[in-house]
Amino acid sequence: MTDFLRQFAERFAGLDASNLDRLRELYSDDILFRDPLHEVRGLPAVRGYFGELYANVSELRFDFYGFDQSAEGEGYLRWTMSYRHPRLRGGALIRVEGCSHLRWRDKVYQHRDYFDAGALLYEHLPILGRVIAWLKGRLA
């Protein structure tokens, strides 16, 4: 039942800056891709988004560990994203847990990622990171 999700995850995990043309094997031309920071429509725009993403990091990897099909043509992937950005945490490895909700026919036509944008980016910015750490401390 989760064959589509496993195959998608394997192919997605194999993406890098040199093979983004493979996105057309995963996504329909009318793909709607959303995450907490962006909304991108159409395969060319998604390719551009991923191109910028890979151009700005020195390392990026997805490790998928959850494959849950909730209905025909719909399911969830759980993952850990690991990345390095030269301007965040001195280039140290950053890990973020997340989940993707996918809808598909023969290819994915809706992809929505859920993750903590603070853990991905904001907490690692010099000034904003200190403010967020202070706020988390106050709320805890």
Q: Which residue has the tokens 């990026």?
A: 60
Structure confidence at residue 78 as a pLDDT band (50, 70, 90): very high
What whole-number percentage of the chain has pLDDT above 90? 60
CATH, residue 32: 3.10.450.50
In Å, what is the CA distance from 105 to each residue of 46, 72, 100? Answer: 18, 9, 16
pLDDT at residue 86 in the model: 81
- Please state, in angstroms and rounded to a whole number, the distance separating the CA atoms of residues 84 and 86: 7
pLDDT at residue 93 in the model: 86
Range of the domain at 53: 3-139
Q: Domain total for the chain?
A: 1
